Each structure stands twice: as C-alpha cells, then as structure tokens.
Amino acid sequence: QKEVEQNSGPLSVPEGAIASLNCTYSDRVSQSFFWYRQYSGKSPELIMSIYSNGDKEDGRFTAQLNKASQYVSLLIRDSQPSDSATYLCAVNTVGGATNKLIFGTGTLLAVQP
C-alpha cells in the first residue's frame, strides 16, 4: 500500500463550480498535512497546510482533515481556469523540525471555461 494515495484524475469541473480533491494516508502517526499545486512543466508550490482535525480556510481554498479516517481533502470554491493544475497531497512522516514530506501521485484538475 502506498503511503499517500490520490485519484489521478483528471477531475473536470466547470468554471465557478467547487472542485473536491481527496487523499488518504497510511501512517497513523502522521501529524501534518499539506497541499501543493504543480502547473504543467513547473515545480510544486505549497498552497495549504493543516495540522488538526476539521476545516481550515484560506481564500477560495479549504483543507479538511479527519485523522480517524486518515483522510485529507482540498476544496476549491469558484474554480477558475487558472486553477487547472496537478494537486499533490503531502504528509510529514517525521515531524519535529524536519519537513520530510511524502507525496501522493497527484490529481489533475481541469477547470472548463
């Protein structure tokens, strides 16, 4: 079993809709979780972090964490064509001062104008 699993997509949504991206992880001791965005041909960049159960909102983005179910999700409201990218879920499997991140394979999001 992979440590971090994501549906590869593509997930296609119309402009203005809510995009929902999901991720599961296998290591129960993981404490911190992140979402990265990667545009085609570019490097990944951090967009959201979440450390405790519940929701965390930042602009149009909401990260959700359920440690009991080992599940992390990212909601993008009012999706824009510029949101079209691959979204990578990442888990810190060490914690402390070390940002040792294990990434999922990513979900490709396509926002249709």
Instruction: Work out whether 22 is an interface residue with other proteins (CB under 8 A).
Output: no
What is the pattern of x (binds other proteins, CB under 8 A) and - over residues 32-61? xxx-------xxxxx--x------------
Number of shown-chain residues binding other proteins (CB under 8 A)? 25
Sign of the torsion formed by the C-alpha atoms of 26, 76, 52 and 45: positive
Exposed / middle / buried, residue 97 (Cβ in 10 Å: 0-12, 13-18, 19+):
exposed
Q: Which of 23, 104, 109, 111 binds other proteins (CB under 8 A)?
A: 104
Q: Which of 1, 69, 82, 98 binds other proteins (CB under 8 A)?
A: 98
Instruction: Work out whether 66 is an interface residue with other proteins (CB under 8 A).
Output: no
Measured in degrees and rounded to the nearest 5, phi and psi for residue 44 equal: -70, 150
**C-alpha–C-alpha distance, residues 19 and 13, integer Å:** 7
Instruction: Work out whether 74 is an interface residue with other proteins (CB under 8 A).
Output: no
**C-alpha–C-alpha distance, residues 49 and 46, integer Å:** 8
Enumerate binding residues for other proteins (CB under 8 A): 31-34, 42-46, 49, 88, 90, 92, 95-106
